Protein backbone atom coordinates (compact mmCIF):
# COMPACT_ATOMS: atom_id res chain seq x y z
CA UNK A 1 0.00 0.00 0.00
CA UNK A 2 1.24 3.44 -0.89
CA UNK A 3 1.24 6.37 1.53
CA UNK A 4 -1.19 8.31 -0.68
CA UNK A 5 -3.68 5.42 -0.51
CA UNK A 6 -3.38 5.25 3.27
CA UNK A 7 -3.92 8.99 3.60
CA UNK A 8 -7.03 8.81 1.39
CA UNK A 9 -8.48 6.11 3.64
CA UNK A 10 -7.65 8.07 6.80
CA UNK A 11 -9.10 11.29 5.43
CA UNK A 12 -12.32 9.59 4.34
CA UNK A 13 -12.70 7.88 7.73
CA UNK A 14 -12.23 11.23 9.49
CA UNK A 15 -14.91 12.80 7.24
CA UNK A 16 -17.34 9.96 7.95
CA UNK A 17 -16.71 10.16 11.69
CA UNK A 18 -17.31 13.91 11.67
CA UNK A 19 -20.54 13.38 9.70
CA UNK A 20 -21.70 11.03 12.46
CA UNK A 21 -20.68 13.47 15.17
CA UNK A 22 -18.01 11.16 16.60
CA UNK A 23 -14.27 11.60 16.98
CA UNK A 24 -11.72 8.88 16.34
CA UNK A 25 -8.10 8.05 15.76
CA UNK A 26 -7.42 6.11 12.54
CA UNK A 27 -4.33 4.02 11.78
CA UNK A 28 -3.34 2.30 8.52
CA UNK A 29 -0.66 -0.39 8.55
CA UNK A 30 1.17 -2.48 5.97
CA UNK A 31 0.80 -6.31 5.85
CA UNK A 32 3.37 -6.64 8.65
CA UNK A 33 1.50 -4.28 10.95
CA UNK A 34 3.96 -1.40 10.49
CA UNK A 35 2.38 2.03 10.68
CA UNK A 36 1.87 3.90 7.39
CA UNK A 37 -0.50 6.67 8.46
CA UNK A 38 -2.10 7.80 11.72
CA UNK A 39 -4.46 10.65 12.52
CA UNK A 40 -6.10 11.51 15.85
CA UNK A 41 -9.00 13.95 15.66
CA UNK A 42 -9.02 16.88 18.09
CA UNK A 43 -10.33 15.90 21.51
CA UNK A 44 -9.63 12.19 21.16
CA UNK A 45 -7.59 10.76 24.07
CA UNK A 46 -3.98 9.97 23.17
CA UNK A 47 -4.42 6.29 24.00
CA UNK A 48 -6.98 5.93 21.20
CA UNK A 49 -4.18 6.27 18.64
CA UNK A 50 -2.38 3.27 20.17
CA UNK A 51 -5.63 1.28 20.27
CA UNK A 52 -6.39 2.12 16.61
CA UNK A 53 -2.90 0.93 15.66
CA UNK A 54 -3.44 -2.26 17.67
CA UNK A 55 -6.75 -2.99 15.96
CA UNK A 56 -5.16 -2.44 12.54
CA UNK A 57 -2.17 -4.60 13.54
CA UNK A 58 -4.52 -7.39 14.63
CA UNK A 59 -6.48 -7.25 11.36
CA UNK A 60 -3.24 -7.34 9.35
CA UNK A 61 -1.76 -10.22 11.36
CA UNK A 62 -4.78 -12.50 11.01
CA UNK A 63 -6.12 -11.18 7.69
CA UNK A 64 -9.55 -10.82 9.29
CA UNK A 65 -11.35 -8.22 11.36
CA UNK A 66 -10.24 -7.52 14.89
CA UNK A 67 -13.89 -8.17 15.80
CA UNK A 68 -13.50 -11.77 14.58
CA UNK A 69 -10.45 -12.05 16.80
CA UNK A 70 -12.53 -10.77 19.74
CA UNK A 71 -14.90 -13.70 19.30
CA UNK A 72 -12.00 -16.14 19.26
CA UNK A 73 -10.29 -14.43 22.22
CA UNK A 74 -13.46 -14.70 24.32
CA UNK A 75 -13.36 -18.47 23.91
CA UNK A 76 -9.61 -18.71 24.58
CA UNK A 77 -8.74 -16.02 27.14
CA UNK A 78 -5.40 -17.53 28.22
CA UNK A 79 -4.28 -17.88 24.61
CA UNK A 80 -5.38 -14.30 23.85
CA UNK A 81 -3.40 -13.05 26.84
CA UNK A 82 -0.34 -14.99 25.68
CA UNK A 83 -0.62 -13.45 22.19
CA UNK A 84 -0.92 -9.99 23.69
CA UNK A 85 2.21 -10.53 25.77
CA UNK A 86 4.13 -12.12 22.89
CA UNK A 87 3.30 -9.18 20.61
CA UNK A 88 4.24 -6.49 23.10
CA UNK A 89 0.60 -5.52 23.54
CA UNK A 90 -0.12 -4.99 19.84
CA UNK A 91 -2.79 -7.71 19.73
CA UNK A 92 -6.12 -5.87 20.16
CA UNK A 93 -9.10 -8.24 19.79
CA UNK A 94 -11.87 -5.62 19.69
CA UNK A 95 -14.20 -4.39 16.94
CA UNK A 96 -12.76 -1.57 14.86
CA UNK A 97 -9.98 -3.09 12.75
CA UNK A 98 -10.36 -4.52 9.24
CA UNK A 99 -8.02 -5.94 6.62
CA UNK A 100 -7.82 -4.06 3.33
CA UNK A 101 -8.01 -6.33 0.31
CA UNK A 102 -7.12 -6.05 -3.35
CA UNK A 103 -8.45 -9.32 -4.68
CA UNK A 104 -6.75 -12.06 -2.67
CA UNK A 105 -3.89 -9.78 -1.58
CA UNK A 106 -3.98 -7.94 1.76
CA UNK A 107 -1.79 -4.86 1.27
CA UNK A 108 -2.61 -3.61 4.76
CA UNK A 109 -5.26 -2.97 7.37
CA UNK A 110 -6.97 -0.06 9.07
CA UNK A 111 -8.11 0.45 12.65
CA UNK A 112 -10.08 3.11 14.50
CA UNK A 113 -10.71 3.96 18.12
CA UNK A 114 -12.00 6.95 19.99
CA UNK A 115 -15.23 8.29 21.35
CA UNK A 116 -17.58 5.80 19.70
CA UNK A 117 -18.33 2.10 20.12
CA UNK A 118 -16.16 -0.41 18.27
CA UNK A 119 -18.96 -1.39 15.92
CA UNK A 120 -19.30 2.28 14.89
CA UNK A 121 -15.53 2.45 14.32
CA UNK A 122 -15.79 -0.61 12.10
CA UNK A 123 -18.76 0.73 10.10
CA UNK A 124 -16.83 3.95 9.44
CA UNK A 125 -13.79 2.01 8.24
CA UNK A 126 -15.75 -0.31 5.97
CA UNK A 127 -17.35 2.70 4.31
CA UNK A 128 -14.08 4.67 4.11
CA UNK A 129 -12.22 1.84 2.37
CA UNK A 130 -15.14 1.20 0.03
CA UNK A 131 -15.45 4.91 -0.81
CA UNK A 132 -11.83 5.15 -1.96
CA UNK A 133 -12.59 2.67 -4.75
CA UNK A 134 -9.04 1.35 -4.42
CA UNK A 135 -9.64 -1.69 -2.27
CA UNK A 136 -12.22 -4.07 -0.89
CA UNK A 137 -12.94 -3.78 2.84
CA UNK A 138 -12.91 -6.66 5.29
CATH of the domain at 60: 3.30.450.150
Considering only CA atoms, which of 137, 100, 95, 115 is closest in space to residue 20?
A: 115
DSSP classification of residue 123 = H
pLDDT, tens only, 116-135: 888 899 999 999 999 998 77
In a domain, residue 138? The reply is no
Domains held by the chain: number: 1
Domain that holds residue 122: 3-133
pLDDT tens digits for range 28-79: 999 999 999 999 999 999 999 999 999 999 999 999 999 999 999 999 999 9
pTM score? 0.93
Identify the pLDDT of residue 122.
Answer: 93
- Residues contacting residue 111 through CB under 8 Å, at least 6 positions apart: 26, 27, 29, 51, 52, 53, 54, 55, 56, 57, 58, 59, 66, 92, 96, 97, 98, 121, 125
Residue 138 pLDDT grade (very low, low, confident, very high; cuts 50, 70, 90): low
**Is residue 19, in this structure, part of any structural domain at all?**
yes
Amino acid sequence: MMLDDAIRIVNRAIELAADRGVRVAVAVVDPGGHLIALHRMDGVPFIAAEIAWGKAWTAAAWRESSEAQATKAAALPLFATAISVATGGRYMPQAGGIPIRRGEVVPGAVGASGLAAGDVDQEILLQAVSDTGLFNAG
